[in-house]
Structure formats: structure tokens, C-alpha cells
């Protein structure tokens, strides 16, 4: 299985959800990181993931590092492409998913559902690559 890295700014919401959804469907192979990691995973992200039976409460945000370029086959950025200059363009896929941080729970659900749809398509691509 190819390895996938999901990146957003704080690694507290979108990339954490993407990592967990990918791993729950594909059985592993994904990690996540942030360009400016938060101290903890967003509480609303934890809640909306709980709604679909995935627990991310034990996760911790971590920083995107240059050595990750070698470790992963695909790097998926979520609205931080300009802030992710260290990711190689040939490996980088941009998902322009709006950051729900600071918004209502419904925006978190919409982001989660959009991420889930994108992850399913990505898994097909990864399996066929």
C-alpha cells in the first residue's frame, strides 16, 4: 500500500479527519501533519468523527518536516498549498477544503463529509497507481 500524508495548517481538524478516515477505510497507510501545528486536536473535529464511529481523541498535532517528502508517496494539502512549499509538486495533491475552525458544528460535518468523499476517490487512485 502506498503511503499518504495529509497536511493542513494546524493539523487539528481537516488533516486529522482525513488521516483517520483513510486509515479506517484502507486499513492504514496514512499520517497527518501541519505547517503550524496546534497544541491539540479540535474538539468539534473529535465530535463529528465520533458521529461516524471514528475516535481521534487520542491524536496529537505534529509538524510537517522535510523528511516526510521521502517517506510518503502522496501528499494531500487542504488549503495550505502556499504554506507548504517544502512538499514536492509531483507528489502533492491539493484539496481546497474550507477550514471549519471557529464555525458551527454543521461546517465541521460538511468538511468531514467532503473529506470522506475525497478519501474514497484517493484510495482508488492509490490502489491503481
Residue 39 has a CB neighbour count (10 Å cut-off) of 8
Q: Does the active-site annotation cover 8?
A: yes
Catalytic residue among 84, 97, 119, 126: 84
43-50 vs 105-128: helix axis angle to the nearest 10?
70
Report the C-alpha gap between 32 and 34 in whole angstroms.
7
Catalytic residue among 4, 5, 7, 8: 8
Q: What DSSP designation does 71 have?
A: H
Three-point CA angle 9, 100, 112, nearest 5°: 95
Q: Which three cell numbers stand for residue 123?
A: 484510495
Q: Does the active-site annotation cover 13?
A: no
Q: Which three cell numbers stand for residue 20?
A: 483517520
Q: Does the active-site annotation cover 80?
A: yes
Catalytic residue among 26, 33, 64, 80: 80
Residue 36 has a CB neighbour count (10 Å cut-off) of 13
Task: Report, as residue numbers or ranges, the catalytic residues.
Answer: 8, 80, 84
Amino acid at each position: 500500500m502506498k503511503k499518504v500524508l495529509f497536511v493542513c495548517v494546524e493539523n487539528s481538524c481537516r488533516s486529522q479527519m482525513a488521516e483517520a478516515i483513510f486509515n479506517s477505510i484502507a486499513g492504514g497507510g496514512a499520517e497527518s501533519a501541519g505547517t503550524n501545528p496546534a497544541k491539540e486536536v479540535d474538539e468539534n473535529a473529535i465530535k463529528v468523527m465520533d458521529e461516524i464511529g471514528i475516535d481521534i481523541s487520542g491524536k496529537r498535532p505534529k509538524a510537517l518536516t522535510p523528511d516526510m517528502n521521502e517517506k510518503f508517496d502522496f501528499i494531500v494539502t487542504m488549503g495550505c498549498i502556499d504554506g507548504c512549499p517544502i512538499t514536492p509538486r509531483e507528489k502533492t495533491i491539493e484539496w481546497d477544503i474550507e477550514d471549519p475552525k471557529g464555525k458551527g458544528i454543521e461546517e465541521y460535518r460538511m468538511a468531514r463529509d467532503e473529506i470522506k468523499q475525497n478519501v474514497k476517490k484517493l484510495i482508488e487512485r492509490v490502489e491503481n497507481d
